[in-house]
Each structure stands twice: as C-alpha cells, then as structure tokens.
C-alpha cells in the first residue's frame, strides 16, 4: 500500500468562518485517505483592536491553545491548502506574514514540486474572492508549486462558480453558514488535490 498523501491545511481566521471551512476540509481529506495537519497561523492584530469585536475576541480565545503553523508543516506536506479571508481583495496580513517567513525553505528548494490550492471568504459575493486567491497564487508560483485549482472539473463548480478555489459569502452580518454548494465545492477541491497529489507521488516512485 502506498503511503497516504500528507496534506497541510494552513489558514487564518479572525471570527471563525475560515476556521470552519478548514475543519470541514480536514474532514473531507481524512475521508479521502490523507494524513492531515490542520494549522492556524499566528494572530498579529493588537489585542485592543481584537477586543472591540466580540466575535473576533471569542474566536481568538477559543483557539488560543491550538497548534500554530510552522514552516516545518509546509516542508512535511505533499500538498498544502491555504485559507485566508479577503482583505480588500487580498490575502490577510496574518497569512501573508506566515508566507513571508518561508524564505529559508524556499531558498533550499523545499517548497517546490508540492501541490497547492486555496480557499477564502468575504461578506459579499463579489467582495474580492477571486482576486484574493489569485494574489495567493502569485506566491505559490514563486515556490515552484503545482497549482491544483478546481477549474470546472466537476458539475459542482458550475453551481459555486469559482474555478480558482473555494469561496464563501458570509453576508452583511458575517454569519451566513456554509451552504450545500460551498460544501460540495470544498469537498471537490480536497478530493481533487488528494487524488492529483497521489498520482504525482506514485509516478515519482515508479521512475
């Protein structure tokens, strides 16, 4: 039996939306046979700012003791899913800071030839979902990574409409739960990256 695909799910979440998406992705990945590391990146915002928003404070406190992402988690993985909320159409500073710490691993070629994809969320349907994923992928190109975007490789993608990754519109109050379309799209993304990565690993082993 071949070894299972090692999948790292590395994300930032302020109020819990991306956290929920990441945990759901981890469930799907384990069902697909992957070995999973679920890791939240460090919070960078000042505590006084966090305290001004109840949902933000509650999420920070609830996840305070959970393991944080390290460069070693990316090096360990065969495949990586990165998750970030949209910040003015871009990747959150917290996730970007983590990516920026990976220079030594990049310099050693340890980030290349892995598979990568992303997921995101914003309050509105056109609030920068696709631009956030594309901005994330700029970094992954520099890694020498292999992007496994979903494209329109399954009918579920014609329902959620995002060929670049998976995105969720959380609504004006930031509390809209993941719907069936988003869950189906997330499942497809996870199964696709696990399957493609497994094929790549088996091909390399056969050489």
Residue 36 lies in a domain: yes
pLDDT at res. 174: 76
Count of the separate structural domains present in the chain:
1
Could you tell me if residue 1 is inside a domain? no
Residue 95's alpha-carbon distances to 18, 34, 108, 132, in angstroms, are 12, 23, 21, 12
* pLDDT score at 202: 93
Note the pLDDT tens digit of each residue in 71-109.
999 999 999 999 999 999 999 999 999 999 999 999 999
CATH code, domain carrying 132:
3.40.50.360
172 pLDDT band (50/70/90 cuts)? confident
Range of the domain at 57: 6-206
- CA–CA dist 200, 39 (Å, integer): 24
Query: Using CA atoms, how far apart are residues 166 and 185, in angstroms rounded to an integer?
Result: 6
**90 within a domain of the structure (yes/no):** yes
Phi, psi angle pair for 96, to nearest 5°: -60, -40
The H or E element containing residue 40 is: strand 35-40
**How would you label 148-184 residue by residue, b for 16+ Cβ within 10 Å and e otherwise?**
bbbeeebebbeebebebbbbbbbeeebeeebeebbbb
Give percent above pLDDT 90 in the chain: 83
**pTM for this one?**
0.96
Q: What span, in angstroms and rounded, lies between the C-alpha atoms of 185 and 63?
A: 26
pLDDT in tens, 131-170: 999 999 999 999 999 999 999 999 999 998 899 999 998 8
Instruction: State how far the alpha carbon of 173 is from the alpha carbons of 56, 91, 124, 132, 153, in Å.
Output: 13, 21, 10, 21, 32
Structure tokens at 9: 């799910």
Tokens of 31: 């069902």
């Amino acid at each position: 039996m071949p070894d299972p695909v090692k999948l790292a799910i590395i994300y930032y979440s302020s109020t819990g939306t991306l956290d929920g998406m990441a945990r759901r992705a981890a469930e799907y990945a384990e069902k697909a046979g992957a070995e999973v590391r679920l890791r939240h990146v460090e919070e960078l915002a000042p505590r006084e700012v966090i305290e001004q928003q109840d949902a933000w404070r509650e999420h920070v406190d609830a996840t305070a003791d959970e393991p944080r992402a390290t460069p070693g988690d990316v090096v360990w993985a065969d495949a990586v899913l990165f998750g970030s909320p949209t910040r003015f159409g871009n990747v959150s500073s917290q996730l970007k800071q983590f990516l920026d710490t990976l220079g030594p691993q990049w310099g050693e070629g340890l980030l290349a030839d892995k598979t990568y994809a992303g997921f995101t969320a914003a309050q509105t349907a056109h609030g920068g979902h696709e631009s956030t994923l594309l901005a994330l992928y700029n970094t992954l190109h520099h890694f020498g990574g292999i992007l496994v975007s979903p494209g329109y490789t399954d009918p579920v993608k014609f329902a959620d409409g995002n060929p670049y990754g998976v995105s969720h519109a959380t609504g004006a109050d930031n509390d809209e739960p993941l719907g069936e379309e988003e869950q189906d799209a997330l499942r497809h993304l996870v199964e696709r990256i696990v399957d493609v990565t497994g094929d790549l690993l088996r091909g390399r082993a056969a050489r």
